[in-house]
Structure 1
Amino acid sequence: MTTAYTDFVAPDLPAGIYPPQEDSFLLIDAMVSSGLAPGARVADLCTGSGVIALAAAQAGAAEVTAFDICPRAVRHARRTALTHGHDIDVHRGSWARAVEFGPFDVVVANPPYVPQGPVDDTGEIPPTAGPAQAWNAGTDGRLVLDPLCAAAPLLVEEGGTMLIVHSECANIPKTLSALKSHGMTVEVVAQQLIPLGPVMSARAKWLAHQGLLTPGRQQERLVVIRADAP
Protein backbone atom coordinates (compact mmCIF):
# COMPACT_ATOMS: atom_id res chain seq x y z
CA MET A 1 0.00 0.00 0.00
CA THR A 2 1.19 3.54 -0.76
CA THR A 3 1.92 4.84 2.72
CA ALA A 4 1.30 8.47 1.78
CA TYR A 5 -2.38 7.65 1.28
CA THR A 6 -3.13 5.19 4.07
CA ASP A 7 -4.89 7.97 6.00
CA PHE A 8 -7.50 8.11 3.23
CA VAL A 9 -8.55 4.51 3.90
CA ALA A 10 -11.37 4.48 6.44
CA PRO A 11 -10.79 1.79 9.07
CA ASP A 12 -14.55 1.34 9.32
CA LEU A 13 -15.34 1.29 5.59
CA PRO A 14 -19.08 0.61 5.28
CA ALA A 15 -20.13 -2.73 3.85
CA GLY A 16 -20.93 -2.76 0.16
CA ILE A 17 -18.12 -0.41 -0.91
CA TYR A 18 -15.08 -1.58 -2.87
CA PRO A 19 -12.14 -1.39 -0.43
CA PRO A 20 -8.93 0.29 -1.64
CA GLN A 21 -6.35 -2.35 -2.50
CA GLU A 22 -3.38 -3.03 -4.75
CA ASP A 23 -5.03 -1.83 -7.97
CA SER A 24 -6.16 1.40 -6.31
CA PHE A 25 -2.70 2.19 -5.02
CA LEU A 26 -0.88 1.20 -8.19
CA LEU A 27 -3.08 3.68 -10.06
CA ILE A 28 -2.41 6.37 -7.46
CA ASP A 29 1.34 5.80 -7.75
CA ALA A 30 1.16 6.10 -11.54
CA MET A 31 -0.91 9.28 -11.36
CA VAL A 32 1.33 10.95 -8.79
CA SER A 33 4.62 9.93 -10.39
CA SER A 34 3.41 11.21 -13.77
CA GLY A 35 3.09 14.74 -12.38
CA LEU A 36 -0.16 15.21 -14.29
CA ALA A 37 -2.46 16.08 -11.41
CA PRO A 38 -1.21 19.53 -10.25
CA GLY A 39 -3.46 22.24 -11.69
CA ALA A 40 -5.51 19.75 -13.73
CA ARG A 41 -9.20 18.97 -14.03
CA VAL A 42 -9.32 15.35 -12.95
CA ALA A 43 -12.11 12.79 -13.28
CA ASP A 44 -12.09 9.64 -11.16
CA LEU A 45 -14.32 6.99 -12.70
CA CYS A 46 -15.77 4.15 -10.59
CA THR A 47 -14.46 5.94 -7.51
CA GLY A 48 -15.61 3.41 -4.90
CA SER A 49 -14.22 4.58 -1.57
CA GLY A 50 -12.98 7.78 -3.21
CA VAL A 51 -9.34 7.12 -2.36
CA ILE A 52 -8.06 7.91 -5.88
CA ALA A 53 -10.06 11.14 -6.08
CA LEU A 54 -8.65 12.14 -2.69
CA ALA A 55 -5.12 11.35 -3.86
CA ALA A 56 -5.65 13.56 -6.93
CA ALA A 57 -6.81 16.44 -4.74
CA GLN A 58 -3.89 15.89 -2.39
CA ALA A 59 -1.53 15.96 -5.39
CA GLY A 60 -2.72 19.46 -6.31
CA ALA A 61 -5.48 18.98 -8.87
CA ALA A 62 -7.38 22.20 -9.55
CA GLU A 63 -10.67 20.32 -9.70
CA VAL A 64 -11.66 16.71 -8.98
CA THR A 65 -14.91 15.11 -10.06
CA ALA A 66 -15.74 11.52 -9.10
CA PHE A 67 -18.43 9.09 -10.22
CA ASP A 68 -19.92 5.87 -8.86
CA ILE A 69 -23.17 3.98 -9.33
CA CYS A 70 -23.35 2.95 -5.67
CA PRO A 71 -25.16 5.46 -3.39
CA ARG A 72 -23.22 4.20 -0.36
CA ALA A 73 -19.93 4.81 -2.14
CA VAL A 74 -21.03 8.30 -3.16
CA ARG A 75 -22.00 9.21 0.41
CA HIS A 76 -18.79 7.75 1.80
CA ALA A 77 -16.56 9.50 -0.74
CA ARG A 78 -18.25 12.85 -0.07
CA ARG A 79 -17.92 12.39 3.69
CA THR A 80 -14.26 11.37 3.47
CA ALA A 81 -13.42 14.30 1.20
CA LEU A 82 -14.93 16.72 3.71
CA THR A 83 -13.07 15.02 6.57
CA HIS A 84 -9.78 15.60 4.79
CA GLY A 85 -10.64 19.15 3.77
CA HIS A 86 -10.90 18.57 0.00
CA ASP A 87 -13.56 19.99 -2.29
CA ILE A 88 -14.46 17.04 -4.51
CA ASP A 89 -17.64 16.77 -6.57
CA VAL A 90 -18.93 13.21 -6.23
CA HIS A 91 -21.78 12.25 -8.54
CA ARG A 92 -23.99 9.19 -8.47
CA GLY A 93 -23.98 7.53 -11.84
CA SER A 94 -21.90 5.26 -14.03
CA TRP A 95 -18.56 6.30 -15.45
CA ALA A 96 -20.41 7.26 -18.65
CA ARG A 97 -22.00 10.21 -16.87
CA ALA A 98 -18.57 11.85 -16.85
CA VAL A 99 -19.11 12.72 -20.51
CA GLU A 100 -21.65 15.34 -19.36
CA PHE A 101 -18.95 17.11 -17.34
CA GLY A 102 -15.94 16.57 -19.61
CA PRO A 103 -13.64 16.60 -21.28
CA PHE A 104 -11.01 16.46 -18.55
CA ASP A 105 -7.27 17.03 -18.46
CA VAL A 106 -6.76 13.74 -16.62
CA VAL A 107 -9.08 10.75 -16.36
CA VAL A 108 -8.27 7.94 -13.93
CA ALA A 109 -10.26 4.72 -13.84
CA ASN A 110 -10.30 1.55 -11.79
CA PRO A 111 -13.29 -0.12 -13.47
CA PRO A 112 -14.72 -3.58 -12.92
CA TYR A 113 -12.43 -5.95 -14.87
CA VAL A 114 -12.73 -9.45 -13.40
CA PRO A 115 -14.02 -12.09 -15.84
CA GLN A 116 -16.99 -14.02 -14.51
CA GLY A 117 -18.16 -17.51 -15.31
CA PRO A 118 -21.68 -18.79 -15.94
CA VAL A 119 -22.11 -20.02 -12.35
CA ASP A 120 -22.77 -17.50 -9.57
CA ASP A 121 -19.86 -17.78 -7.12
CA THR A 122 -20.77 -14.80 -4.92
CA GLY A 123 -21.29 -17.08 -1.93
CA GLU A 124 -17.63 -18.18 -2.13
CA ILE A 125 -16.31 -14.62 -1.91
CA PRO A 126 -16.13 -12.84 1.46
CA PRO A 127 -18.15 -9.62 1.85
CA THR A 128 -14.91 -7.74 2.61
CA ALA A 129 -14.08 -7.96 -1.11
CA GLY A 130 -16.80 -5.41 -1.77
CA PRO A 131 -19.91 -5.64 -3.95
CA ALA A 132 -19.95 -7.91 -7.00
CA GLN A 133 -20.77 -4.94 -9.24
CA ALA A 134 -17.34 -3.52 -8.39
CA TRP A 135 -15.50 -6.40 -10.05
CA ASN A 136 -17.79 -8.52 -12.26
CA ALA A 137 -17.20 -7.55 -15.89
CA GLY A 138 -18.59 -10.25 -18.16
CA THR A 139 -16.97 -13.43 -19.46
CA ASP A 140 -13.89 -11.60 -20.79
CA GLY A 141 -13.60 -8.89 -18.13
CA ARG A 142 -14.26 -6.16 -20.67
CA LEU A 143 -17.90 -5.27 -20.06
CA VAL A 144 -16.82 -1.80 -18.90
CA LEU A 145 -13.35 -1.58 -20.42
CA ASP A 146 -14.54 -1.73 -24.04
CA PRO A 147 -17.09 1.12 -23.85
CA LEU A 148 -14.73 3.10 -21.64
CA CYS A 149 -11.98 2.91 -24.26
CA ALA A 150 -14.49 3.80 -26.97
CA ALA A 151 -15.53 6.92 -25.05
CA ALA A 152 -11.96 8.11 -24.44
CA PRO A 153 -12.13 10.91 -27.06
CA LEU A 154 -15.19 12.35 -25.29
CA LEU A 155 -13.67 12.09 -21.83
CA VAL A 156 -10.13 13.34 -22.42
CA GLU A 157 -9.25 16.89 -23.40
CA GLU A 158 -6.88 17.52 -26.33
CA GLY A 159 -3.41 16.84 -24.98
CA GLY A 160 -4.92 15.18 -21.91
CA THR A 161 -4.30 11.75 -20.42
CA MET A 162 -6.26 8.70 -19.38
CA LEU A 163 -4.88 6.21 -16.83
CA ILE A 164 -6.63 2.84 -16.51
CA VAL A 165 -5.71 0.00 -14.16
CA HIS A 166 -6.72 -3.62 -14.74
CA SER A 167 -5.60 -7.22 -14.53
CA GLU A 168 -3.79 -9.20 -17.19
CA CYS A 169 -6.88 -11.44 -17.21
CA ALA A 170 -8.84 -8.66 -18.96
CA ASN A 171 -6.67 -8.58 -22.11
CA ILE A 172 -4.06 -5.83 -21.85
CA PRO A 173 -3.27 -5.80 -25.61
CA LYS A 174 -6.93 -5.17 -26.43
CA THR A 175 -7.02 -2.08 -24.19
CA LEU A 176 -3.82 -0.76 -25.77
CA SER A 177 -5.18 -1.37 -29.27
CA ALA A 178 -8.58 0.18 -28.52
CA LEU A 179 -7.08 3.38 -27.17
CA LYS A 180 -4.48 3.54 -29.93
CA SER A 181 -7.27 3.33 -32.52
CA HIS A 182 -8.34 6.82 -31.40
CA GLY A 183 -4.92 8.23 -32.23
CA MET A 184 -3.80 8.15 -28.61
CA THR A 185 -0.22 7.38 -27.62
CA VAL A 186 -0.37 4.38 -25.31
CA GLU A 187 1.99 2.51 -23.00
CA VAL A 188 2.03 0.43 -19.83
CA VAL A 189 3.51 2.78 -17.25
CA ALA A 190 3.24 0.62 -14.12
CA GLN A 191 2.78 -3.03 -13.29
CA GLN A 192 2.79 -5.24 -10.23
CA LEU A 193 2.52 -8.94 -9.48
CA ILE A 194 0.17 -9.56 -6.58
CA PRO A 195 -1.18 -12.68 -4.88
CA LEU A 196 -4.60 -13.72 -6.11
CA GLY A 197 -7.24 -11.99 -4.01
CA PRO A 198 -10.50 -13.59 -2.86
CA VAL A 199 -12.34 -13.01 -6.13
CA MET A 200 -9.56 -14.27 -8.41
CA SER A 201 -8.87 -17.19 -6.07
CA ALA A 202 -12.51 -18.27 -6.22
CA ARG A 203 -12.34 -18.17 -10.03
CA ALA A 204 -8.77 -19.42 -10.58
CA LYS A 205 -9.77 -22.82 -12.02
CA TRP A 206 -12.36 -21.28 -14.34
CA LEU A 207 -9.92 -18.55 -15.44
CA ALA A 208 -7.31 -21.20 -16.21
CA HIS A 209 -9.87 -23.21 -18.17
CA GLN A 210 -10.64 -20.09 -20.20
CA GLY A 211 -6.93 -19.54 -20.87
CA LEU A 212 -6.91 -16.28 -18.91
CA LEU A 213 -4.65 -17.55 -16.13
CA THR A 214 -1.92 -20.21 -16.04
CA PRO A 215 -3.15 -23.34 -14.24
CA GLY A 216 -1.96 -23.44 -10.64
CA ARG A 217 -0.74 -19.86 -10.69
CA GLN A 218 -1.15 -17.95 -7.44
CA GLN A 219 -0.43 -14.44 -8.76
CA GLU A 220 -1.84 -12.00 -11.27
CA ARG A 221 -0.26 -9.03 -12.99
CA LEU A 222 -1.86 -5.63 -12.61
CA VAL A 223 -1.02 -2.87 -15.09
CA VAL A 224 -1.67 0.82 -15.44
CA ILE A 225 -2.14 1.89 -19.03
CA ARG A 226 -1.50 5.50 -19.98
CA ALA A 227 -3.15 6.97 -23.07
CA ASP A 228 -2.24 10.50 -24.17
CA ALA A 229 -4.70 12.27 -26.47
CA PRO A 230 -3.35 14.07 -29.54
Structure 2
Amino acid sequence: MSTWSATLPALRPLVALPGVYLPQHDTRLLLRALYREGVGAGTELLDLGSGSGALALGAARRGALVTAVDISWRAVLSTRINAWLSRQAVTVRRGDLTAAVGDRSFDILVSNPPYVPAPGNRAPRGAARAWDAGSDGRLLVDRICDAAPRALRPRGVLLMVHSGLCGIEDTLERLTSAGLRAAVSDRAVIPFGPVLRSRLSWLRSQGLLDEVQQTEELVIIRAENSGAATPHYARPKRPAPGGGPGGSGG
Protein backbone atom coordinates (compact mmCIF):
# COMPACT_ATOMS: atom_id res chain seq x y z
CA MET A 1 0.00 0.00 0.00
CA SER A 2 1.32 3.45 -0.85
CA THR A 3 1.93 6.02 1.87
CA TRP A 4 -0.89 8.30 0.73
CA SER A 5 -3.48 5.52 0.61
CA ALA A 6 -2.57 4.41 4.13
CA THR A 7 -3.88 7.75 5.42
CA LEU A 8 -7.26 7.45 3.72
CA PRO A 9 -10.47 6.35 5.48
CA ALA A 10 -11.48 2.72 5.19
CA LEU A 11 -14.56 1.85 3.17
CA ARG A 12 -17.13 -0.63 4.40
CA PRO A 13 -18.24 -3.38 2.00
CA LEU A 14 -21.12 -2.26 -0.19
CA VAL A 15 -23.67 -3.93 -2.42
CA ALA A 16 -23.31 -2.91 -6.07
CA LEU A 17 -25.60 -4.24 -8.77
CA PRO A 18 -23.94 -5.18 -12.10
CA GLY A 19 -22.61 -2.09 -13.84
CA VAL A 20 -22.48 0.07 -10.69
CA TYR A 21 -19.13 1.60 -9.76
CA LEU A 22 -17.54 0.13 -6.64
CA PRO A 23 -15.52 2.53 -4.45
CA GLN A 24 -11.83 2.79 -5.29
CA HIS A 25 -8.88 5.13 -4.59
CA ASP A 26 -10.72 8.19 -5.86
CA THR A 27 -13.68 7.53 -3.56
CA ARG A 28 -11.46 7.27 -0.51
CA LEU A 29 -9.53 10.40 -1.43
CA LEU A 30 -12.78 12.31 -1.78
CA LEU A 31 -14.18 10.91 1.46
CA ARG A 32 -11.12 12.15 3.36
CA ALA A 33 -11.57 15.62 1.89
CA LEU A 34 -15.25 15.51 2.82
CA TYR A 35 -14.51 14.66 6.45
CA ARG A 36 -12.09 17.59 6.65
CA GLU A 37 -15.01 19.93 5.92
CA GLY A 38 -16.48 19.12 9.33
CA VAL A 39 -19.57 17.39 8.02
CA GLY A 40 -21.96 16.88 10.90
CA ALA A 41 -25.49 17.16 12.22
CA GLY A 42 -27.52 19.54 10.11
CA THR A 43 -25.11 19.70 7.15
CA GLU A 44 -27.18 19.44 3.97
CA LEU A 45 -25.20 17.55 1.37
CA LEU A 46 -25.82 16.60 -2.26
CA ASP A 47 -23.96 13.64 -3.75
CA LEU A 48 -24.03 13.82 -7.55
CA GLY A 49 -23.39 10.43 -9.14
CA SER A 50 -23.84 8.37 -6.01
CA GLY A 51 -22.98 4.98 -7.52
CA SER A 52 -23.17 2.47 -4.70
CA GLY A 53 -23.57 5.26 -2.13
CA ALA A 54 -20.18 5.25 -0.38
CA LEU A 55 -19.90 9.05 -0.10
CA ALA A 56 -23.55 9.52 0.79
CA LEU A 57 -23.32 6.95 3.57
CA GLY A 58 -20.04 8.37 4.86
CA ALA A 59 -21.70 11.76 5.27
CA ALA A 60 -24.91 10.31 6.72
CA ARG A 61 -22.94 8.46 9.40
CA ARG A 62 -21.66 11.84 10.57
CA GLY A 63 -25.17 13.22 10.87
CA ALA A 64 -25.50 15.03 7.53
CA LEU A 65 -28.84 15.36 5.76
CA VAL A 66 -27.94 13.63 2.51
CA THR A 67 -29.55 13.64 -0.91
CA ALA A 68 -27.95 11.22 -3.39
CA VAL A 69 -28.54 11.47 -7.13
CA ASP A 70 -27.72 9.10 -9.96
CA ILE A 71 -29.04 8.69 -13.49
CA SER A 72 -28.70 4.91 -13.34
CA TRP A 73 -31.59 2.97 -11.83
CA ARG A 74 -29.13 0.28 -10.75
CA ALA A 75 -27.06 2.86 -8.89
CA VAL A 76 -30.19 4.29 -7.30
CA LEU A 77 -31.23 0.84 -6.11
CA SER A 78 -27.69 0.05 -4.92
CA THR A 79 -27.56 3.25 -2.85
CA ARG A 80 -30.98 2.54 -1.38
CA ILE A 81 -30.01 -1.03 -0.46
CA ASN A 82 -26.77 0.11 1.16
CA ALA A 83 -28.53 2.87 3.09
CA TRP A 84 -31.06 0.34 4.37
CA LEU A 85 -28.36 -2.19 5.32
CA SER A 86 -26.40 0.55 7.10
CA ARG A 87 -29.51 1.94 8.81
CA GLN A 88 -28.73 5.40 7.46
CA ALA A 89 -31.31 7.92 6.30
CA VAL A 90 -30.45 8.99 2.74
CA THR A 91 -32.86 10.57 0.27
CA VAL A 92 -32.13 8.95 -3.10
CA ARG A 93 -33.34 10.39 -6.37
CA ARG A 94 -32.94 9.31 -9.95
CA GLY A 95 -32.18 12.13 -12.35
CA ASP A 96 -29.69 14.09 -14.42
CA LEU A 97 -27.38 15.86 -11.97
CA THR A 98 -29.02 18.83 -10.20
CA ALA A 99 -32.19 18.57 -12.29
CA ALA A 100 -33.19 15.87 -9.79
CA VAL A 101 -33.36 18.37 -6.93
CA GLY A 102 -34.89 21.40 -8.67
CA ASP A 103 -33.83 24.74 -7.21
CA ARG A 104 -32.69 23.39 -3.84
CA SER A 105 -29.33 24.50 -2.52
CA PHE A 106 -26.88 22.73 -0.21
CA ASP A 107 -24.01 23.29 2.18
CA ILE A 108 -21.81 20.75 0.40
CA LEU A 109 -21.89 19.30 -3.09
CA VAL A 110 -19.70 16.23 -3.54
CA SER A 111 -19.11 14.35 -6.78
CA ASN A 112 -16.98 11.56 -8.19
CA PRO A 113 -18.06 11.94 -11.84
CA PRO A 114 -16.96 9.96 -14.89
CA TYR A 115 -13.65 11.51 -15.99
CA VAL A 116 -11.76 8.98 -18.13
CA PRO A 117 -11.14 10.23 -21.69
CA ALA A 118 -12.75 7.93 -24.26
CA PRO A 119 -13.01 7.89 -28.06
CA GLY A 120 -15.99 9.93 -29.27
CA ASN A 121 -18.35 12.24 -27.39
CA ARG A 122 -21.47 10.12 -27.27
CA ALA A 123 -22.97 9.52 -23.87
CA PRO A 124 -21.79 6.07 -22.73
CA ARG A 125 -24.14 3.23 -21.91
CA GLY A 126 -24.10 0.46 -19.34
CA ALA A 127 -21.21 0.11 -16.92
CA ALA A 128 -19.09 2.58 -18.93
CA ARG A 129 -21.31 5.42 -17.67
CA ALA A 130 -19.31 5.19 -14.43
CA TRP A 131 -16.04 6.21 -16.10
CA ASP A 132 -16.24 7.20 -19.79
CA ALA A 133 -16.51 10.97 -20.25
CA GLY A 134 -15.94 11.87 -23.89
CA SER A 135 -12.71 12.55 -25.74
CA ASP A 136 -11.49 15.13 -23.22
CA GLY A 137 -12.90 13.47 -20.07
CA ARG A 138 -15.07 16.48 -19.31
CA LEU A 139 -18.52 15.35 -20.42
CA LEU A 140 -19.92 15.70 -16.89
CA VAL A 141 -17.11 17.62 -15.19
CA ASP A 142 -18.01 20.81 -17.08
CA ARG A 143 -21.71 20.41 -16.34
CA ILE A 144 -21.03 20.00 -12.63
CA CYS A 145 -18.84 23.11 -12.66
CA ASP A 146 -21.66 25.06 -14.30
CA ALA A 147 -24.31 23.72 -11.92
CA ALA A 148 -22.36 24.26 -8.71
CA PRO A 149 -23.06 28.00 -8.18
CA ARG A 150 -26.81 27.39 -8.25
CA ALA A 151 -26.63 24.34 -6.01
CA LEU A 152 -24.43 25.88 -3.30
CA ARG A 153 -25.53 28.19 -0.54
CA PRO A 154 -23.34 31.13 0.41
CA ARG A 155 -20.13 29.65 1.87
CA GLY A 156 -21.15 26.29 0.43
CA VAL A 157 -18.40 24.00 -0.87
CA LEU A 158 -18.01 21.80 -3.94
CA LEU A 159 -15.66 18.82 -3.63
CA MET A 160 -15.00 16.98 -6.88
CA VAL A 161 -12.42 14.36 -7.75
CA HIS A 162 -11.03 13.78 -11.21
CA SER A 163 -7.95 12.72 -13.12
CA GLY A 164 -5.13 14.93 -14.27
CA LEU A 165 -5.88 13.57 -17.73
CA CYS A 166 -9.03 15.67 -18.07
CA GLY A 167 -7.69 19.14 -17.39
CA ILE A 168 -7.11 20.36 -13.84
CA GLU A 169 -6.55 23.96 -14.91
CA ASP A 170 -9.66 23.87 -17.10
CA THR A 171 -11.75 22.95 -14.06
CA LEU A 172 -10.23 25.66 -11.89
CA GLU A 173 -10.76 28.30 -14.57
CA ARG A 174 -14.35 27.24 -15.20
CA LEU A 175 -15.26 27.36 -11.52
CA THR A 176 -13.50 30.68 -11.01
CA SER A 177 -15.36 32.14 -13.99
CA ALA A 178 -18.60 31.01 -12.35
CA GLY A 179 -17.79 33.06 -9.27
CA LEU A 180 -16.36 30.36 -6.98
CA ARG A 181 -13.01 30.30 -5.18
CA ALA A 182 -11.39 27.14 -6.53
CA ALA A 183 -8.16 25.32 -5.76
CA VAL A 184 -6.66 21.83 -5.71
CA SER A 185 -6.86 20.58 -2.13
CA ASP A 186 -5.43 17.07 -2.57
CA ARG A 187 -3.28 15.19 -5.06
CA ALA A 188 -2.42 11.51 -5.32
CA VAL A 189 -0.59 9.37 -7.86
CA ILE A 190 -1.80 5.81 -8.45
CA PRO A 191 -0.98 3.03 -10.94
CA PHE A 192 -3.22 2.78 -13.98
CA GLY A 193 -6.39 0.84 -13.41
CA PRO A 194 -7.92 -1.63 -15.87
CA VAL A 195 -9.88 1.00 -17.82
CA LEU A 196 -6.83 3.15 -18.57
CA ARG A 197 -4.71 0.10 -19.32
CA SER A 198 -7.28 -1.02 -21.86
CA ARG A 199 -6.93 2.21 -23.90
CA LEU A 200 -3.28 3.14 -23.47
CA SER A 201 -2.66 3.17 -27.22
CA TRP A 202 -5.52 5.60 -27.85
CA LEU A 203 -4.55 7.87 -24.93
CA ARG A 204 -0.98 8.05 -26.20
CA SER A 205 -2.13 8.72 -29.74
CA GLN A 206 -4.11 11.69 -28.39
CA GLY A 207 -1.10 13.08 -26.56
CA LEU A 208 -2.73 12.52 -23.16
CA LEU A 209 -0.01 10.12 -22.03
CA ASP A 210 3.64 9.76 -22.94
CA GLU A 211 5.14 6.43 -23.90
CA VAL A 212 6.59 5.62 -20.49
CA GLN A 213 3.91 6.97 -18.16
CA GLN A 214 2.42 4.26 -15.95
CA THR A 215 0.64 6.30 -13.29
CA GLU A 216 -2.37 8.61 -13.06
CA GLU A 217 -2.68 11.73 -10.95
CA LEU A 218 -5.95 12.18 -9.05
CA VAL A 219 -6.95 15.57 -7.66
CA ILE A 220 -9.62 16.93 -5.38
CA ILE A 221 -10.98 20.25 -6.58
CA ARG A 222 -12.39 22.36 -3.75
CA ALA A 223 -14.52 25.36 -4.71
CA GLU A 224 -16.30 27.67 -2.28
CA ASN A 225 -19.23 29.95 -2.97
CA SER A 226 -18.20 33.34 -1.61
CA GLY A 227 -21.83 34.35 -1.32
CA ALA A 228 -21.41 37.33 -3.61
CA ALA A 229 -24.00 37.66 -6.35
CA THR A 230 -22.72 36.93 -9.85
CA PRO A 231 -24.29 37.53 -13.26
CA HIS A 232 -24.35 33.79 -13.87
CA TYR A 233 -27.21 32.87 -11.54
CA ALA A 234 -29.81 34.04 -9.08
CA ARG A 235 -29.08 32.82 -5.59
CA PRO A 236 -31.72 30.24 -4.56
CA LYS A 237 -33.69 30.55 -1.36
CA ARG A 238 -32.92 28.17 1.48
CA PRO A 239 -35.56 25.41 1.37
CA ALA A 240 -37.59 24.27 4.31
CA PRO A 241 -36.24 21.12 5.96
CA GLY A 242 -37.67 17.79 4.92
CA GLY A 243 -38.19 15.93 1.66
CA GLY A 244 -39.01 12.32 1.09
CA PRO A 245 -37.29 9.58 -0.85
CA GLY A 246 -37.55 9.58 -4.61
CA GLY A 247 -35.63 8.43 -7.66
CA SER A 248 -32.04 9.58 -8.25
CA GLY A 249 -29.15 9.29 -10.66
CA GLY A 250 -25.36 9.43 -10.72
* CA offset digits 1:126-182 (Å, max 9, x no partner): xxxx81011111110011111211111111111100001000011000000000112
Residue 207 of structure 2 is aligned to residue 202 of structure 1 = no
Point out the more displaced range, 36-45 or 72-81.
36-45
- SS of equivalent residue, structure 2 residue 221: strand
Matched residue pairs, number? 219
Q: Which residue of 1 aligns with 2:186?
A: 190
Query: 1:112·1:134 contact (CA, 8 Å) conserved in 2?
Result: yes
Aligned to 1:91: 93
Return the alpha-carbon distance in structure 2 between the equivalents of residues 182 and 193 of structure 1: 28
Displacement of 1:38 = 4.6
The alignment partner of 1:54 has SS state of helix
Q: Distance in 2 between matches of 1:119 and 1:47?
A: 22
Matched to 1:214, the amino acid is D
Which residue of structure 1 aligns with residue 52 of structure 2?
49
- Find the aligned partners of 1:86 and 1:76 in 2 and give their Cα distance: 14
CA distance in 2, matches of 1:207, 1:18: 22
Change in Cα spacing, 1:4 to 1:143, as seen in structure 2 (3 Å) is: closer
CA separation of 1:101/1:79 partners in 2, compared to 1, >3 Å: closer, same or farther?
Answer: farther
Separation in 2, partners of 1:149, 1:37: 25
Q: Which of 91, 112, 132 is the aligned partner of 1:136?
A: 132
The aligned residue for residue 217 of structure 2 is 221
- Pairing 1:212–2:214 present: no
Give, in angstroms, the shift of residue 3 of structure 1: 6.9
Distance of 1:147 and 1:135 partners within structure 2: 15
1:24 equivalenced with 2:27 (yes/no): yes
Amino acid at match of 1:47: S
The one-letter code sitting in structure 1 at the alignment partner of 2:56 is: A
TM-score by length of 1: 0.88
Q: Distance in 2 between matches of 1:202 and 1:180?
A: 34
- Mapped contact 1:99–1:154 kept (Cα < 8 A): no
Cα distance 1:214–1:36, how it changes in 2: closer, same or farther (>3 A)? Answer: farther
**Cα separation, partners in 2 of 1:3 and 1:83, compared to 1, 3 Å:** farther
Deviation at 1:218, TM superposition (A): 1.1
Amino acid at match of 1:213: L
Summarize the Cα distance change of 1:119–1:175 in structure 2 as closer, same or farther, 3 Å threshold. Answer: closer
Unaligned 5+ runs, structure 2: 227-250
- Higher RCO (CA < 8 A, seq sep 6+): 2
Q: Superposed, which structure 2 residues align to 1:45-124 within 5 Å?
A: 45-61=48-64, 63-100=65-102, 102-118=104-120
1:59: Cα distance to partner?
Answer: 2.4
Q: CA RMSD in A?
A: 2.1
Offset from partner CA, 1:8-56 (integer Å, 9 cap, x none) = x32x532111111011111001111232455310000000000000011
Distance in structure 2 (CA, Å) of the matches to 1:35 and 1:89? 21
| Native 8 Å contact 1:166 1:222 kept in 2 | yes
Greater CA deviation, 111-120 or 79-88?
111-120
Deviation at 1:116, TM superposition (A): 0.5
TM-score normalised by length of structure 2: 0.82
Indicate conservation of the 8 Å contact 1:68/1:92, yes or no: yes
